[in-house]
Amino acid sequence: MLVNDTWRSRMIKWLYKYRYLHLMAIPGLLYFIVFKYLPMYGIIMAFKNFKGTGGFAGIWNSDWVGLLHFRNFFGGLFFWRLLRNTLILSGLRLSIGFVAPIILALLINEVRRTFTKRFIQTVTYMPHFISWVVVAGIIVTLCSPSEGPINYVLKTIGLQPIFFVSNPRYFRSLLVISDIWKNVGWGTIIYLAAITGIDPGYYEAATIDGATKWNKIWHITLPSIREIIAILFILAVGSVLEQNFDQIFNLYSPAVYEVADVFDTYVYRSGIAGTQYSFTTAVGLFKSTVALLLIAISNFTAKRLGSEGLW
């Protein structure tokens, strides 16, 4: 009894001592509780035949169908197309989009004039705050076969105009390029913060030893931010099946379904528009399970390579 009272008093003192930090954490905790944990009750829909009526009671009282929706999804016409498109787009984002912020952060760090550095940072991360609806409108205008400046240049040099947004050959490249343009500056913030924390004495010692800028980047900067890169890479791998729904939804059309249709857009069409709530819940549960496995595997691999990982 005395042990419990001592533990309780210590907990109260700890809560009171850091009361302002706990108050600041409440909105974040509420966000995860309301939008992440409470909706997990709906996972049961993946194993039931929910018709969309009756609210929470309707979910519980629906007929139990077991793994029927999973079998229908894996044996359906679209599973392999969705998996292929998702993996290809994720591979392009990981191989290009993940590296781009690191390179940009290294380049910005080499700029010596403070005004120029801040100007570049502002210009590169401002697109992050533009809605994908607006960005999609800009892209469609730029790529218009009749009035777009890109096709105007093509016609000027004697080539035929191309409507890139509706051409399966160019659509994936368009997605990757627009995603990098919009988010590369925002992604540099964490890397720049990590770089500023490196002891300047390392660079001074390297300069005395005759190291070039490339030597300093390769042997000082990159090793010093290795842990940050590893953590962000693990999180990126965990999101390999999570495509940017807003971007694809605002740009794609039936003409490019074959190369652009991913799990998120399929869930929207089948679940929201097609009212197949149980079926699309099964698709979402499959995605979440694979993401968890990928995070665990990438975290294990990172720790074997010398990084601390997430846990």
Torsion 272-175-162-261 (CA) sign: negative
- pLDDT computed for residue 310 by the predictor: 67
Our CA angle for 67, 72, 74, nearest 5°, is: 95
SS3 category, 51: coil
In eight-state DSSP terms, residue 235 is H
Domain ranges (residues) in the chain: 1-66, 70-304
CB 236, CB 198: distance < 8 Å: no
Task: Give bridge partners of residue 48 from the DSSP assignment.
Answer: 64
SS (H, E, C) 165-194: HHCHHHHHHHHHHHHHHHHHHHHHHHHHHH
Helix axes 277-304, 226-238, angle to 10 degrees: 160
CB 48, CB 63: distance < 8 Å: yes
Please tell me the distance from the alpha carbon of residue 295 to that of residue 235, in angstroms, as a whole number: 7
SS3 category, 281: helix
In the chain, the amino acid numbered 47 is: F
Token digits of residue 77: 């016409």
Torsion 90-95-97-101 (CA) sign: positive
- pLDDT computed for residue 4 by the predictor: 59
SS3 category, 107: helix
SS3 content of the chain, % helix, strand, coil (to 5): 80, 0, 20
Q: What is the pTM of this model?
A: 0.81
For the chain (311 residues), the mean pLDDT of every run of 10, in chain order, is: 67 86 91 87 87 77 88 89 89 87 91 88 90 92 86 87 88 91 90 89 88 88 89 81 83 89 89 85 87 82 73 71
What's the CATH number for 70-304?
A: 1.10.3720.10
At 48, phi and psi to the nearest 5?
Answer: -130, 170
Of 191, 179, 186, 17, which is closest to residue 97 (Cα–Cα)?
179
Q: 171: which residues sit within 8 A by CB, 6+ positions away?
A: 164, 165, 251, 252, 256, 259, 260
Please tell me the distance from the alpha carbon of residue 260 to that of residue 89, in angstroms, as a whole number: 8
